[in-house]
Structure 1
Amino acid sequence: MQVHEAMSTAVVQLGPDHTLRQAAALMSRRNVGSAIVVDPDGPGVGIITERDVLKAIGTDLDPDVERAADHITWDVVYAAPSWTVEEAAAAMVRGGFRHLVVLDGDDVLGVISVRDIIRVWVRTAIPA
Structure 2
Amino acid sequence: MLKEFKEFALKGNVVDLAIGVIIGAAFSLIVTSLVDDIIMPIIGAIVGNVDFSNLYVRLSSAIPDGLSLDDARKAGAVFAYGKFITVTVKFLIIAFALFLVVKGINRVKNLKPAAEAAPEAPPPPPADIQLLTEIRDLLARR
Would you call these one fold, judging by a TM-score over 0.5? no
- Normalising by structure 2, what TM-score? 0.28
Pick the structure with greater CA Rg: 2
- Normalising by structure 1, what TM-score? 0.30
Q: Which structure ranks higher in relative contact order (CA pairs < 8 Å, sequence separation ≥ 6)?
A: 1
Structure ranking higher in strand proportion: 1
